[in-house]
Structure 1
């Protein structure tokens, strides 16, 4: 299914989509919502515009057939910051055969040249959540932008290109903070005026993070420092790897290499997810397993120490008491009392 829409403002995008889907637009104090009809799919499409020249459109839906949305209008198109939170979406420029796939946790920054438009492609039966910050640069430039001081030169030129002379495309992996903001925007139950200013504030916050991420990616003299959503998959992999091999003394360096990341990123990810360093997480899981074995198996303390990959029984007793406030023998006594 092909859907042709105007490219600005956001209200006209939503109105054109509603006509193609034959679905009403619900106006909630400026935030427009279309619920996808059952014959076409499920979910919703939302959008809102702000006086500063920025707007956001969010597609949180699953179509039952392939859908392409064509943003075509005989005028300058907005600068777009597009990010995929779930599923998959693809983008192409209107007059190009080259298609760029975006998987979950990826983003793109795009600007067409001249009046050339954009196309978004949604695959059938794939639950997809993709959002697009739309910036009308001719209006956005009327803000007090301080001449975009200290901004990356490429982005500075991009923001100042209000007549869209130059085409621009960048693809990367968006950050944990960006994912958190998207979650807040979708789950906060503010209504009316509060919802409107909440979304505007979060949109500016998202823009800051997207710009910071781009600059982080483009820094040639150092490794990326911003934690990406994709990094959490590596944290999850390492956590499962640790749980599956508690008897070994795995090092942070070997785990990072195995997961395809660096030590700093892995440590940052564990601090974000578990509020623990990798080594503290390993110790935590070893002690949890030891406590479970003390309570439910016939193993003695020496056997348990070996089972969790420790060599020193005194050290085990020390860290066990620090965590649980009692000596390991306490659980042995409890086990014996319970079994009598």
Structure 2
């Protein structure tokens, strides 16, 4: 079954849920920087944690499972600047899929109405790093506070349209996101540790933005036909996780030469063809291990890891650890 709600009704449900907010750090109202509230129970089960790190920087952690597929009718609103890292789950904006292994870069500005769809297939787990434009200017701006040309698209006034795009989350970004969820500290030590991790993610994201916009100036944009073939190549890879074609075989199937396929794939997804496949397999395996009652060997076979020993070593690594950034109640 699918539930459809308006943006206004959706926000009202969250306002009601926030009445149950629990502050985890101090009784002093002025020092309540770490809070947690229940996800609206009419829609699903889980928790939302909000952590104010310093003036202008905050973290949000979403961990929930929907009762039914959800469609949210959008309306125009002012979009704050921030970065969203999708660790688990699946949803779409205006039928553009957003999935685990991707991150969303949002510049500030007016966000036009869009229809958001969320799906019940998997538990939803996402980390947001939000910041005010002044923070970015303090780190990256010149003496006058002006940002480099490569970053100016991230800061718009409420009258200007916002700028957003999807990117591929690198293994280093994923590792830092997991460390945020598994932070072992409490009190002020926790706040310092989480702020350092948020700034690391910000640094990596800014570096990626600068590289991306530098490439756009130096690399000719792909023709529409070539772009379609690049996406078709990815579709073929993901349909054949257990036995993907060779690079030459994939190039033949999508009717591109190997050089164009390699260059175009890296230009669109920010990684190599088989680097993308490897990271996708890891993420699918992690989701299966968390969501299904399957043995490690069965998961390895399902996602195409022929070397069981190699997969077992990955399983024992940190990225497979059960997240602990949200209390256990959210995982039931």
TM-score (norm 2): 0.54
Residues 75, 112 of structure 2: 8 Å contact kept? no
1:59–1:188 Cα change, 3 Å? same
Give CA deviations for 1:250-288 in whole Å, capped at 9, x if unaligned. Answer: 9x9769979x98599479799999xxxxxxxxxxx7xx9
1:202 maps to what in 2? 197
Of 38, 41, 45, 1:42 maps to: 45
Q: Secondary structure at the match of 1:184?
A: helix
Any unmatched runs of 5+ in structure 1?
7-12, 92-97, 223-230, 243-249, 274-284, 289-340
1:21–1:3 Cα change, 3 Å? farther
2:299 maps to what in 1? none
Residues 4, 72 of structure 1: 8 Å contact kept? no
Matches within 5 A, 1:92-103: 98-103=94-99
Give CA deviations for 1:173-213 in whole Å, capped at 9, x if unaligned. Answer: 22111111111111122222122122211111111112222
CA distance in 2, matches of 1:35, 1:63: 13
Any unmatched runs of 5+ in structure 2?
26-32, 220-233, 255-260, 264-270, 282-306, 311-332
Q: Secondary structure at the match of 2:138?
A: coil
Residues 89, 119 of structure 2: 8 Å contact kept? no
CA RMSD of aligned residues (A): 4.8
1:4–1:132 Cα change, 3 Å? farther
1:121–1:269 Cα change, 3 Å? closer
1:84 maps to what in 2? 86
Q: CA deviation at 1:77?
A: 3.5
Residues 137, 147 of structure 2: 8 Å contact kept? no
Is 1:62 matched up with 2:69?
no
1:164–1:209 Cα change, 3 Å? farther
Residues 89, 103 of structure 1: 8 Å contact kept? yes
Which structure has more relative contact order (CA 8 Å, sep 6+)? It is 2
1:69–1:257 Cα change, 3 Å? same
Is 164-173 or 187-196 further displaced after alignment? 164-173
Q: Secondary structure at the match of 1:147?
A: coil
Is 82-91 or 144-153 further displaced after alignment? 144-153
Residues 18, 37 of structure 2: 8 Å contact kept? no
Matches within 5 A, 1:169-318: 169-218=164-213, 219-220=215-216, 221=218, 265=272
CA distance in 2, matches of 1:208, 1:60: 25
